[in-house]
């Protein structure tokens, strides 16, 4: 598979059997989404083929960014994402073709009917209503436009599409993004126990991978090939580290052996030159025996040199283990703010049918606060109210005068539109062009990224650019709303390390269970489903 003359995937073979639960891993940009789209038939490989077990087998692909269509209802959206709509259209066309009365038309109808039945078309409406109800989506929303859903509702709608899917092979690209803990539990239960077909999943959620996958396929950023590991995600991590350690040891051993032989050759040549020079100055007669002895000693030394050189030639070439790009995130606080960073008093904020509050909460200097709660409880709205970005309908808000906020919002709105990435980055950071390019490059965004429209970047690329903005700005209050969405595991670990060193105020919204374990928050604000604050407690 190539793109713009660059190799994305090379000689990749992958079999997905019924019951397989495969985790597809690799750094951002390595081609995970490309491989899923190729398996799904949405992209054609440059060479090679995609084969299905039978003509009625189906593959479902749920990308990380669902394409909501303006005129599409939630019911229509679910039918399209689960393949039921396409199967229904195919069945209708096959039914109309039956009037021809041919064997070919009858076979086409039988196949279309079987596919429609296998995908659950017969009871899809009833199942949709039940699943949506279980997820807290009112039945009336099924007839509403999907684009009008709130962020929390959209996350639950994406989960509903997964739970309703009955494909033989299901491909999930970052399905845990934006899911709350209840949604994560439902997703884990579905893919681990309720689903019988094959599954290939891309996810940055390490806890999710540990719980659900039984095999791991890693795409190598250097060779563009895949390696399959059995035994689950933790076994993969251990085996990969063992393999990397052995590779480093082999390379170090080969270097040491080559260096020793090279040093031997150097010494042997030095000895030969010294002996020749000594014999030349020592020579005082024309005795043939002495001359022959001198020649023999010279030839013996030369033979040793040749033997050592041949030993070097026989050494196997051991390539240096490939060290891929790694995020190096350094977050520097701009200085201490006042004792009160932000405060809300009896704040009420209405957005459509949702009401936040009344809420009274205060954020003090240096506090590390996690904001928790189910999807739709108002966590992002609370952040907007605390930062003074959203006007209140009642109550008061206050932000400290020396507070400098650095924010990574859930939608990554700093990086949208048609403006080139480097221009959007400069507008957000006030850096000069050369410094902007240099910093973006440190985040894996090089010459082929900076001229592209910011809105065309992949979700992972936008997230890395957002982190680069935080690094460029000297802030003293970090506000991170689902910061690990779309990051690979190595980048998440770098983010964890940077947050551990952070000395300013931190407001964190995340459903990444490993991140909450690694970041030492000292206080948790918990929102309820009614937009009210239901808990504000110090961490143990």
Query: 203-252: per-residue pLDDT in tens?
Result: 988 889 999 999 999 888 778 788 888 888 989 888 888 887 877 777 78
Nearest CA-CA partner of 258 in 318, 313, 314, 312: 312
On the question of pLDDT at 2 being above 60, the answer is: no
Which 3 state secondary structure label does DSSP give 151?
A: helix
> Quick one: tokens of 154?
């959209």
Query: Which range scores top for mean pLDDT: 68-82, 299-313, 404-418?
Result: 68-82
Paired strand residues for 363: 342
What's the pLDDT score for residue 239? 87
What local confidence, expressed as pLDDT, does residue 540 receive? 59
CA distance 365 to 354: 30
At residue 345 the predicted structure's pLDDT band, cuts being 50, 70 and 90, is very high
Q: Find out whether 361 and 395 touch, Cβ atoms under 8 Å.
A: no
Least confident of 1-15, 247-261, 349-363: 1-15
Q: What is the pLDDT of residue 438?
A: 87
Which of 233-237, 274-278, 416-420, 490-494 is least confident? 274-278
pLDDT number for residue 230: 87
Q: Check pLDDT > 80 for residue 284.
A: no
The tens digit of pLDDT for each residue in 101-155 reads 788 888 899 999 999 998 999 999 999 999 988 888 887 889 888 888 877 788 8
Segment among 56-65, 207-216, 354-363 with least mean pLDDT? 56-65
Looking at residue 300, what is its pLDDT? 65
Q: Which uninterrupted H or E stretch holds 306?
A: helix 288-314
Confidence of residue 24 (pLDDT cuts 50, 70, 90): very high
Task: Round to whole Å and give the CA distance between 360 and 258.
Answer: 69
- Express each pLDDT in 468-513 by its tens digit: 888 888 888 888 888 888 788 888 888 888 888 888 889 998 888 7
Average pLDDT over residues 357-372: 88
Cα dihedral value 211, 216, 219, 223, nearest 10: 150
Q: How much is the pLDDT for 113? A: 92
Helix axis angle, 459-472 to 421-429, nearest 10°: 30
Q: Take residue 167 and report the two structure tokens written for it.
A: 């494909």
Bridge partners for 397 per DSSP:
344
As a whole number of angstroms, the distance between CA 375 and CA 154 comes to 9
Main-chain dihedrals φ then ψ at residue 199, nearest 5 degrees: -135, 135
DSSP 415-464: S-SSSBHHHHHHHHH---HHHHHHHHHHTT--HHHHTSBGGGS-HHHHHH
- Average pLDDT score, the chain: 82
- The CA-based angle 39-487-34, given to 5 degrees, is 20
Per DSSP, 139 falls in state G
What's this model's pTM, rounded to 2 decimal places? Answer: 0.73
Confidence band, pLDDT 50/70/90 cuts, at residue 265: confident
Give the number of other CB atoms < 10 A from CB of residue 417. Answer: 12
Mean pLDDT in residue range 10-36: 85
Q: Which of 242, 226, 211 is nearest to 24 (CA)?
A: 226
Task: Note the pLDDT of residue 460.
Answer: 78
| Cα–Cα distance list, 342 to 312, 339, 355, 362, 396 (Å) | 68, 9, 20, 6, 11
DSSP state of 231: S
């Amino acid at each position: 598979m190539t793109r713009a003359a660059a190799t994305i995937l090379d000689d990749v073979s992958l079999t997905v059997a019924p019951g397989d639960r495969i985790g597809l891993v690799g750094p951002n940009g390595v081609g995970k989404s490309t491989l899923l789209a190729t398996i799904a038939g949405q992209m054609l490989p440059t060479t090679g083929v995609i084969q299905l077990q039978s003509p009625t087998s189906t593959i479902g692909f749920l990308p990380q960014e669902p394409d909501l269509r303006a005129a599409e209802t939630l019911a229509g959206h679910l039918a399209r994402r689960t393949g039921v709509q396409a199967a229904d259209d195919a069945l209708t066309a096959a039914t109309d073709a039956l009037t021809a009365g041919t064997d070919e038309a009858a076979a086409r109808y039988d196949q279309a009917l079987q596919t429609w039945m296998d995908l659950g078309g017969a009871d899809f409406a009833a199942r949709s209503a039940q699943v949506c109800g279980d997820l807290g989506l009112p039945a009336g929303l099924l007839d509403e436009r999907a684009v009008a859903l709130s962020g929390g509702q959209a996350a639950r709608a994406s989960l509903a599409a997964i739970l309703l899917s009955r494909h033989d092979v299901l491909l999930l690209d970052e399905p845990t993004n934006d899911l709350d803990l209840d949604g994560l539990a439902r997703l884990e239960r579905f893919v681990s126990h309720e689903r019988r077909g094959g599954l290939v999943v891309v996810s940055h959620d390490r806890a999710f991978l540990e719980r659900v996958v039984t095999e791991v396929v890693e795409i190598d950023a250097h060779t563009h090939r895949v390696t399959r590991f059995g035994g689950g995600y933790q076994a993969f991590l251990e085996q990969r580290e063992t393999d990397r350690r052995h590779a480093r040891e082999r390379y170090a051993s080969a270097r040491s052996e080559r260096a020793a032989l090279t040093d031997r050759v150097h010494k042997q040549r030095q000895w030969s030159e010294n002996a020749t020079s000594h014999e030349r100055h020592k020579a005082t007669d024309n005795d043939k025996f002495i001359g022959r002895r001198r020649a023999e000693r010279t030839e013996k030394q030369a033979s040793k040199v040749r033997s050592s050189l041949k030993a070097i030639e026989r050494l196997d070439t051991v390539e240096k283990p490939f060290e891929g790009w790694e995020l190096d995130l350094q977050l520097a606080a701009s200085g201490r703010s006042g004792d009160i960073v932000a405060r809300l008093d009896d704040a009420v904020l209405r957005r459509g049918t949702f009401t936040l509050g009344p809420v009274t909460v205060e954020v003090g200097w240096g506090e590390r606060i996690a904001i928790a709660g189910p999807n739709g409880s108002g966590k992002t709205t609370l952040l907007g109210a605390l930062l003074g970005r959203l006007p209140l309908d009642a109550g008061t808000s206050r932000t400290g005068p020396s507070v400098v906020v650095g924010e990574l919002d859930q939608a990554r709105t700093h990086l949208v539109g048609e403006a080139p990435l480097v221009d959007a980055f400069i507008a957000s950071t006030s850096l000069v062009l050369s410094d902007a390019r240099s910093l973006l490059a440190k985040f894996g965004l090089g010459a082929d990224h900076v001229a592209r429209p910011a809105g065309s970047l992949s979700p992972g690329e936008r997230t890395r650019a957002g982190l680069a903005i935080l690094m460029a700005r000297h802030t003293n209050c970090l506000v991170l709303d689902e910061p690990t969405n779309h990051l690979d595991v190595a980048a998440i670990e770098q983010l964890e390390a940077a947050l551990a060193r952070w000395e300013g105020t931190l407001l964190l919204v995340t459903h990444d269970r490993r991140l909450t374990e690694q970041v030492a928050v000292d206080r948790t604000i918990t929102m309820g489903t009614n937009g009210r604050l239901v808990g504000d407690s110090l961490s143990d």
